[in-house]
Structure 1
Amino acid sequence: MWKNEAEPSLLEILRKITELKLFPLPEYLSIITKRSNEEFEEDDSEDERDNLIDAWDEALKSSFKQLEKYADYISDNSSFGTHQGVKGLEFLRVMVILDDEEARGFLFSYEKLFGAKVLT
């Protein structure tokens, strides 16, 4: 389905779903998939922008492999657990911002964990 067994982005996968009419997408995702690459680049203006669409634009740049690793991580199926210095276990839902540059630890890499960088 992908040339040279390339790792598709989530946006490419959604476009293929739309092209093959596998199932209907939510309206906000459908809007994103119908834009051309030029429209995607031009849409970076500072006009009034829809924050939800902006967030999806960024998220859909990720590869499916990254999504798989993230799903494993949040489902506690990953071999990693990152609770160093994290507070909030008493809360049902806690948002965590992962940033290797700001992290105090040096023995792990969030980018490697989620597949954004190659393992070394």
Structure 2
Amino acid sequence: MLESYDNSGGIHLLCESRGWNPEPEVLWLDREGDILPAEDTQTHRETEGFNVKRSITVHDNSNHNRFYCRLLQEPHMRETEIIINRKVFGAWKWVVGISVLACLIAVGWIITAVILHKKGTITLHI
């Protein structure tokens, strides 16, 4: 599942599964089946079995827009494919750009108000 964006333009993906007994191994793989570095697996034991979560941050790469979360518990295996459209990677740039622009406009208004106040052109009532 797509979890969130990070400041570097990466996308956090989360693989989560419940009810395993015994605890499975959780792997993230690229489209060629190579294991990707990911965060440590979080494991919680409940009465229904083990619940596991493992996150990874992926970045825009035209060769890698398919990712796989694989859960292994000999002799069983479950795998989920996640396909990320390249447009999704660009969405964070719009969010950051609009936020920066809004901050710059706010700072501009504050500076203008301070300058006009010092010149005696406007009076601020607080």
Normalising to structure 1: TM-score of the pair?
0.20
Query: Which has the larger Rg?
Result: 2
Normalising to structure 2: TM-score of the pair?
0.20
Which structure features the higher share of strand residues?
2
